[in-house]
Amino acid sequence: MHNARGTTHEAYCVEREALSMKQFQVPRPPDDALRDMLASLMDKGKVGGVFALAQTGENSYSYALITDKKLLDHIVPTLPLMPANAGKMVSRLTMLEPVKTPIAVIMRPCELRALFELVKLEQARLDNLLFISYTCGGVLEMKTAKDGLQLKLEEYWKQVKTGGVSEDMRDSCRVCENFVPTGADITLTLVGNDNGKQTTVQVNSEKGEEFLAGLSYELTEAGPELEALDSMRKKRAEQKPDVFGQFAAEELGMAGLTALFGRCIGCHACGRACPVCYCSSCHFEAAENEFDPSTLETELTNRGALRLPTGTLYYQIGRLFHVSISCVGCGMCSDVCPVDIPVASLFAKLAGSVQGMFGYVSGRDAEEKIPTSTFEMEELEEIGA
Amino acid sequence: MKEPTIVGFLCNWCSYEGADRAGDARLEYPANIRTVRVMCSGRVEPEFVLHAFREGASGVLILGCHPGDCHYKMGNYKARRRISLLKKTLEQLGIEPERVRLDWVAAGEGERFAKVANEMADTIKGLGPLELS
């Protein structure tokens, strides 16, 4: 199989290229540094709006598109919470046509990758968007927002500084090795830095440079904090047996899957929250999937028992087939699951293996084709042999 | 014991003709294969396979034109990627990937059709029923 970026090592190099050598430092914490930068961009008329995570009340956070500069006080772009996948949110804003006014979009690496997948699926457009991202320490489970957030944040930032893993993070973040954004115009290097007083901002593209031109920042040549990034990558790899171990194929099978998804209530929240569950009308919500009385009777005659609600396993496996090639491992599905099924961990494990078949990392590059939409003449020749 | 059901998705241009040829030649193939004619092996979505399982099938056979011979030029190449992905997923879920088989049968290959169908029936008989709900 030919794929120029087929190996993990090569993927790693792509990431390092993504981290530019041009950077500047701001003697302010990241969120303040961003607010200042965005206010200047708005003052100069370079952007008409800002899309970022915002605080909407006590213990309450959501993504917001802000056009009134006064409201920039509300943004908390690096707070480790993800109420929705921002890639999906930007897709909603740009699905029908691109935005007309330039907007600065601040999102995490996995959210950016989700957006790039949606561009390939013709459900999002990147025109007029300036992408700001950061080396990502992961996010805490959303329920943390109303449960001891401040305390957990202290530990979280300590881990980000040293390239560690915080126990309160989403499981999918604990095992994520794609925490360096690819495709961002501007990247804040949070990992490995003491983010209490100072922020390092890297400029990764010409577009990024154009936007920042005329602002009072002095670019210097410097490298990323590779030591902390390497440490984080290593520590996250170490988490894999703990997170993925429960899904060994020999433990699953129909019995294991039924046990895993037995408590699924069929609410489909995982699909709604998933950025790459992209169908506008869902096959699994179609009337043809309802069991009418005669189907129920057949089921009961043939099998002797029927689990209710029906079709939950059918839905979960079907969704796996649909999204595993594009799954970015953001963990939204587990976070919204009302019955705490570790669905994100299972999906991330399978996503790794099916994407690996084609040397693909979902969303790494907006130009790269989704493997199922293309083919090589000479491949997989064991089929039909 | 009741023979496990196998659903066969056969492409209109090659494999369905191949099955016809097997019939014309009075070649035997298992009666528990239920054939569904599709326009192309590339038309077979993963849901079709899953739906067949949910409706009680224990195996799914997908047959298309040989690589290079697709009536639509590249449908079978796309099917090859898609079905490989599906089999990989099943394997990781602890469901035997052999329950799904993609193979190539040309319009004139009645014997090959009978061979593949018989092999599939033996494989599925060996694996036993799959109960997805």
Please check whether residues A121 and A23 belong to one and the same domain.
yes
| pLDDT at A9 (0 to 100) | 46
Asked, for residue A384, whether it belongs to a domain, the answer is: no
> CB A318 to CB B50 under 8 A?
yes
How high is the ipTM of this complex? 0.91
Asked, for residue B109, whether it belongs to a domain, the answer is: yes
- Provide the percentage of residues in chain A whose pLDDT is more than 70: 94
> CB A256 to CB B86 under 8 A?
no
Higher pLDDT, A302 or A161: A161
How far does B98 lie from chain A, in Å, by closest CA?
Answer: 12
Asked, for residue A1, whether it belongs to a domain, the answer is: no
Please check whether residues A215 and A315 belong to one and the same domain.
no
| pLDDT at A2 (0 to 100) | 35
Average pLDDT, stretch B81-109?
A: 96
Q: Side-chain half-sphere of A2: how many Cα atoms within 13 Å?
A: 5
> CB B133 to CB A250 under 8 A?
no
Instruction: Produce one character per residue of A82-98: b if its CB has 16 or more CB atoms within 10 Å, e if not.
Output: bbbbbbbbbbebbeeee
Please check whether residues A26 and A63 belong to one and the same domain.
yes
pLDDT tens, position by position, A184-204? 999 999 998 888 889 999 999
Instruction: Out of A184, A217, A240, pick the residue that ends a domain.
Output: A240
CA-based nearest residue in chain A for residue B66 = A384
Worst-scoring range by mean pLDDT, A143-147, A236-240, A314-318?
A: A143-147
How far does A349 lie from chain B, in Å, by closest CA?
Answer: 9
Contacts of B77 in chain A (CB under 8 A): 375-377
Please check whether residues A38 and A134 belong to one and the same domain.
yes
Asked, for residue B19, whether it belongs to a domain, the answer is: yes
Asked, for residue A36, whether it belongs to a domain, the answer is: yes
- Name the E strands within A204-255: 220-221
Q: Is A370 on the interface with B (CB under 8 A)?
A: no
Q: How are strands ordered across the β-sheet holding B33-38?
A: B33-38, B6-11, B59-64, B100-104
| pLDDT at A6 (0 to 100) | 38
CA-based nearest residue in chain B for residue A284 = B47
Q: Number of folded domains in chain B?
A: 1
Asked, for residue A145, whether it belongs to a domain, the answer is: yes
Tokens of A191: 């990992």
Worst-scoring range by mean pLDDT, A22-31, A223-232, A251-260, B20-29?
A: A223-232
Contacts of B53 (CB under 8 A, 6+ apart): B60, B99, B130, B132
Contacts of A322 in chain B (CB under 8 A): 46
Burial class (CB in 10 A: 0-12, 13-18, 19+), A27: exposed
Residue B28, Cα to own-chain centre: how many angstroms? Answer: 17
CB A75, CB A31: distance < 8 Å = yes
How far does A12 lie from chain B, in Å, by closest CA?
Answer: 24
| pLDDT at A268 (0 to 100) | 96
- Asked if the model's pLDDT at residue A78 lies above 70, the reply is yes
Banded model confidence at residue A232, pLDDT cuts 50, 70, 90: very high
CB B107, CB B10: distance < 8 Å = no
Q: Residue A308 carries which side chain, given as an amino acid letter?
A: L
Please check whether residues A168 and A72 belong to one and the same domain.
yes
Contacts of A101 (CB under 8 A, 6+ apart): A47, A48, A49, A128
Tokens of A112: 């950016």
> CB A252 to CB B81 under 8 A?
no
Domain, as residue range, for B32: 6-127
| pLDDT at A310 (0 to 100) | 86
Closest CB to B77 among A311, A322, A377 = A377
d(CA A309, CA A267): 10
Contacts of A349 in chain B (CB under 8 A): 92
| pLDDT at B65 (0 to 100) | 96
Please check whether residues A158 and A192 belong to one and the same domain.
yes
Q: What is the DSSP string of A79-114?
A: SS--SS-HHHHHHHHHSSS--SS-EEEE--HHHHHH
Q: What part of A 315-334 touches B (C-beta under 8 Å)? A: 317-318, 320-322, 324-325
Domain, as residue range, for A354: 244-373
Asked, for residue A177, whether it belongs to a domain, the answer is: yes
Instruction: Out of A217, A240, A263, pick the residue that ends a domain.
Output: A240
Asked, for residue B33, whether it belongs to a domain, the answer is: yes
Asked, for residue B133, whether it belongs to a domain, the answer is: no
Hey, is A277 helix, strand or coil?
Answer: coil
Q: Number of folded domains in chain A?
A: 2
Worst-scoring range by mean pLDDT, A142-151, B20-29, B81-90?
A: A142-151
Contacts of A376 in chain B (CB under 8 A): 77
Worst-scoring range by mean pLDDT, A113-127, A325-339, B41-55?
A: B41-55
Average pLDDT, stretch A212-228?
A: 77
Tokens of B124: 């599925």
- Asked if the model's pLDDT at residue A10 lies above 90, the reply is no
Q: Is B95 on the interface with A (CB under 8 A)?
A: yes
Please check whether residues A106 and A168 belong to one and the same domain.
yes
Please check whether residues A233 and A256 belong to one and the same domain.
no
| pLDDT at A4 (0 to 100) | 37
d(CA B131, CA B54): 7
Instruction: Out of A240, A260, A294, pick the residue that ends a domain.
Output: A240
Please check whether residues A305 and A251 belong to one and the same domain.
yes
CATH number at B110 reads 3.40.50.960
How far does B124 lie from chain A, in Å, by closest CA?
Answer: 16
Please check whether residues A234 and A251 belong to one and the same domain.
no
d(CA A63, CA B113): 56
> CB B85 to CB A321 under 8 A?
yes
Q: How far is CA B42 from CA B10, B75, B83, B97, in A?
A: 11, 4, 9, 19
CB A109, CB A178: distance < 8 Å = yes
Worst-scoring range by mean pLDDT, A2-6, A121-125, A195-199, A206-210?
A: A2-6
Asked, for residue A178, whether it belongs to a domain, the answer is: yes
Average pLDDT, stretch A242-269?
A: 94
- Asked if the model's pLDDT at residue A8 lies above 50, the reply is no
Eight-class DSSP state of B65: P
Q: Residue A344 carries which side chain, given as an amino acid letter?
A: A
- Asked if the model's pLDDT at residue A222 lies above 80, the reply is no
Asked, for residue A100, whether it belongs to a domain, the answer is: yes
Q: Tell me which H or E stretch contains A26.
A: strand A22-26
Asked, for residue B132, whether it belongs to a domain, the answer is: no
Average pLDDT, stretch A218-234?
A: 80
Worst-scoring range by mean pLDDT, A159-173, A294-308, B62-76, B117-131?
A: A294-308
Asked, for residue A381, whether it belongs to a domain, the answer is: no
Query: Which residues sit opposite A188 in a β-bridge?
Result: A134, A201
Please check whether residues A230 and A262 belong to one and the same domain.
no
**Mean per-residue pLDDT over chain B, rounded:** 94
Banded model confidence at residue A219, pLDDT cuts 50, 70, 90: confident
Please check whether residues A74 and A174 belong to one and the same domain.
yes
